[in-house]
Copies of this chain bind each other. A is one copy, B any other.
Amino acid sequence: MKIDDELLSVRAAELYYDEDKTQDEIGAILGLTRWKVGRLLATAKQRGFIRIEIVHPRARRLGLERALGERFGLADAVVVPVGDAADAAEVAARVATAAADHLTALRPVPRTLGISWGRTLLSVANALPEGWASGVAVVQINGGVSVNRRSGTAAATAVEIARKAGGGATLLPSPAILERVETKRSIESDRTVAGILDLAASADVYLFSAGATTPDSAHIESGYLRRDDMEELVRRGAVGDVVGRYIDADGRIVDPGLDERTVGLPLERLREAARTIAVVSGAEKVAVARAIVASGLCTVLVTDEGIANALLAAVHPPDDPGGSQDSSPRHPSRRTTT
């Protein structure tokens, strides 16, 4: 393209978008036919001279969403733009709101909703509108934080979500990680706990977040893990935790011994479930987000633009060059009952 055309297209774009002139008028002003003007505008858009941005806390990035969905075989994806957000907390809040919106719009309305807990899910709970659904039974799917923190977080999340849906919350009365396998076994065999785990396994929708392997992890803050435990996990390839279980980049359990002492739904149940919603935001969680989507832990990912871009930027076969499996049904064990 000639340099002159570039200038003209910019001038045309100014007149069209800033001045609300019609392409015909612009043609008259610049001495061009209106078709030429149309073409100039098209190239200007294509070459990125015209930037259209939707600035709203609840705006989403649909292009990224579709790309994510196709790339990782998700049923749905929600990507929140970072835009001019001041800090990570604001982005996290937007992601939580988006997750709440998604949950509210979910059809069919879940009968039983399994949830994990954490800062993220608490935000989601708070962002849900009163009466976002009706008659939803909420059940915790992994052991709680209530041991040596004020019992707030974990229980409050479940109760809030349930209350706003006019349903009941079932809490899992157990620590997240126990010190001895025997204790974990005996807790699980307790009638109450076993019943709750059965209920959790029968949920039709799961909602969970993920933890990074950073020192401010809830597991460390709550005393379930020490810093050097975490460092050891990282050495062994951990990228983060999902419902209390630490996984590597391939979504596999990093430390079976530790996992044996962790109370809650096994990850396989999440991989089988028809609808699992993962809510993840923040640069430190890119790795765990990648593990989640790559290993089929969720069918719906709610995240921020930064993570979405990072997930898509990872090298991937331009046209499946010798890939070991075809791309579409990446997780054949997934039920497809909608």
Which A residues contact B (CB, under 8 angstroms)? 6-7, 10-11, 13-15, 17-19, 48-56, 58-63, 101
Contact = CB atoms under 8 A, between A and B. Distances in A.
30 contacts: A6-B56, A7-B58, A7-B101, A10-B59, A11-B60, A13-B59, A14-B54, A14-B59, A14-B60, A14-B62, A15-B62, A17-B54, A18-B52, A18-B54, A18-B61, A18-B62, A18-B63, A19-B62, A48-B55, A49-B54, A49-B55, A49-B56, A49-B59, A50-B52, A50-B53, A50-B54, A50-B55, A51-B52, A51-B55, A52-B52
Contacts of A56: 6, 10, 49
B18 A58 contact: no
A15 B62 CA distance: 7
A63 B19 contact: yes
A54 B51 CA distance: 6
Contacts of A11: 60
A16 to B, nearest CB: 9
Contacts of A18: 52, 54, 61-63
Contacts of A54: 10, 13-14, 17-18, 49-51
Contacts of A48: 55
A61 B15 CA distance: 10
Contacts of A7: 58, 101
Nearest to A50: B54
Contacts of A19: 62-63
Nearest to A55: B51
Q: Which of A11, A14, A58 has the most CB of B within 10 A?
A: A14
Q: Lowest 5 CB-CB distances: which A-B pairs, in order? A: A10-B56, A51-B53, A17-B52, A49-B56, A18-B62
Nearest to A10: B56
Nearest to A19: B62
A75 to B, nearest CB: 17
Nearest to A129: B3
A50 B54 CA distance: 5
Nearest to A59: B10
A61 B62 CA distance: 29
Nearest to A49: B56
